[in-house]
Structure 1
């Protein structure tokens, strides 16, 4: 190993993504990721529990942003408006990492094990959103429904954002998708 260089976590993330895209997730080892990043396997495990977590390490920060946005929403706001606003709160940080998000999603889409992990992540986000809504006094059934619907709308918005080529930002897709939900509910 050479001289110490900063941003070990970021270097591991970039190295893992490059290797996953080049070789596939299954054919990439932790040792190869660490080597490409110029670090040791031990350093890898200081940052990540396993090679999947390189792709999902930001989940807890996303969950925290969503829950905080729910807590900050005006008390009179209806549950779906609160959920929509909470997803808008995560749009900017995701937009700043757009290319990384696109590359990450390509790896996940190609790997059943990672697709399963992504579903677990969304279930955790939904549970956290529902819990935050209950803290606001929303009944259990309505909180669960609003959270699950919000996750579904966000998944559609983020998929469209990742696939699009016309330069619209994630916030636009989130807004359009929640507006589309209102149209569907109204029966138009």
Structure 2
């Protein structure tokens, strides 16, 4: 591929995930990523501040999609139903290509303490975005925080199930996230 072909960002993500799956995150360098992607270091650093961030591409977009989905939920719905609308909006942005590399990405994160730390920070950011979106709807604290935390757990559980599943469409991801959210709703109801 020529260096000026479109989708440089996704090419970098795919190259980084492939290399991390082959040789581990710690052994993977930015130079290897750009060589595999057929791009330059300058292009890499236009898209990502460091090699860790290439594996977490899209966090800001994910937070914005969750926020927009929660905000667009019908008036008067329960907080978890608004979260479900946010999950649907997020899931709609995922492609079959992302499904194809999702299991390798999950394995790379699980194998690296540094990536696990970054994943935890991502989780905090998503929870904060959902909490703020729920607060904007008038959901009081701590209800907004609890609903957001359940939403984050649903994202993680739903994504893991989707990554392991055969269906690669966004509808399947939305279904997995909603199933996880419903399971969490039932579990929360048993807390007494």
TM-score by length of 2: 0.88
Q: Distance in 2 between matches of 1:137 and 1:48?
A: 35
User: Would you say 1:53 and 2:53 are equivalent positions?
Assistant: yes
Moved more, 34-43 or 59-68: 34-43
2:177 corresponds to: 174
Q: Distance in 1 between matches of 2:56 and 2:150?
A: 22
- For the Cα contact (< 8 Å) 1:52–1:114, is it kept in 2? yes
Aligned positions of 1:1-188 closer than 5 A: 4-96=4-96, 97-165=98-166, 169-187=172-190
- For the Cα contact (< 8 Å) 1:161–1:169, is it kept in 2? yes
- For the Cα contact (< 8 Å) 1:95–1:170, is it kept in 2? no
Where in structure 1 do 4 or more consecutive aligned residues deviate above 4 Å? 165-168
Equivalent pairs, count: 187
* 1:100 CA displacement: 2.4
Unaligned runs of 5+ in 2: none
Deviations along 1:60-113, whole A, 9 cap, x unmatched?
Answer: 111100000111111111111111221122122225321122222121111111
Q: 1:16 to 1:135 in 2, by over 3 A?
A: same
- For the Cα contact (< 8 Å) 2:48–2:54, is it kept in 1? yes
Q: Distance in 1 between matches of 2:3 and 2:64?
A: 35
Q: 1:25 to 1:172 in 2, by over 3 A?
A: same
Q: Distance in 2 between matches of 1:22 and 1:169?
A: 28
Q: Distance in 1 between matches of 2:41 and 2:3?
A: 16
Q: 1:38 to 1:181 in 2, by over 3 A?
A: closer
SS at match of 2:11: helix
Q: Distance in 1 between matches of 2:81 and 2:70?
A: 10
Q: Distance in 2 between matches of 1:153 and 1:5?
A: 36
Q: Distance in 2 between matches of 1:7 and 1:87?
A: 25
Moved more, 57-66 or 147-156: 147-156
Q: Over aligned residue pairs, what C-alpha RMSD do you find?
A: 2.1
Q: 1:2 to 1:74 in 2, by over 3 A?
A: closer
SS at match of 1:93: coil
- For the Cα contact (< 8 Å) 1:11–1:37, is it kept in 2? yes
SS at match of 1:49: coil
Q: Distance in 1 between matches of 2:63 and 2:24?
A: 28
